[in-house]
Amino acid sequence: MELGLKDKVVVVTGGTKGIGYATVLEFLKEGAKVALCSIDDNFSSVQKELESIKSSNEIYIEKVDMSQSEQVYRFSKNVYQKFGKIDCWINNVGAVGYKKGDEYDDEEIDFIVGVCFKSVIFGSQAAYRYMKGKGGVIVNVSSLAARCSSAGRSTLYGPLKSAINNLTNTLAGEYCADQIRVTCIMPGFTITPLTKSQISKEELEKNSNATLLRRMALPEEIAKPIVFLASDAASYMTATTIEVSGGRSMTLNPTFAYEKLNIKK
């Protein structure tokens, strides 16, 4: 299938690890030029690896706090100055606070709201500045937590991801006359550095067994649908949220088929 991404300029926020980095690699495979940002300082190793795949003329990396509007707008300006356009913008930045609702203080609330929600607003605003009148695609990365609440563990994460789903439809309505599509992807549990470091092995296994596919996703299994949504193959899709969760919480008895065949895991 021809995705029509060759020589497109794609921005991926949170692009140095996990789903973001896998997304960067998939866009590069399709011939796109990619700008990525992260708040981390591990640019040198990431840049070296990417430049072993593609020319430095096709890659741009910058340290950016996506919760700060001035940094986001500066980054988008730098991307535009390097490549001359912005065709696709992937809002991938996020953070999880593993606390119950009554345990968050002001600083923690401001942090998670900034990273999980303000980053999407500022990213979309920045993208719109360079897509207005020209067309483009914005893809927001939400979470299965937007549909399945996580009581007692990451209370604010799910509601903020739900807000991203709603914001996707709202911006799709606002930007449609400029031929800008806005879509959203809702990943389930995915094997990333974040999940490995903050979720116990027992809980990961429990969540894997609750999916119909009985495993967590690989980052590239989330990245490929993101690339699809940004491509010409999804040209008639906007105000759309796609769930990629392995069937998590979609049936009341996810172990039925395995029990029927006496398959244990």
Quote the tokens at residue 15: 């692009």
What pairs with residue 13 in β-bridges? Answer: 37
- Specify whether the CB–CB gap between 123 and 114 falls below 8 A: no
Instruction: Please identify every residue annotated as catalytic.
Output: 157
Rounded-to-integer distance, Cα 260 and Cα 76, Å? 53
Helix (H) or strand (E) holding 223: helix 219-230
Quote the tokens at residue 80: 């535009």
Helix (H) or strand (E) holding 4: none
Burial track 70-94 (b if 16+ CB lie within 10 A, e otherwise): ebbeebbeebbeebeebbbbbbbbb
Burial track 119-145 (b if 16+ CB lie within 10 A, e otherwise): bbbbbbebbbebbeeeebbbbbbbbbb
181 phi, psi to nearest 5 deg = -90, 140
Closest of 265, 176, 49 to residue 257, by C-alpha: 265
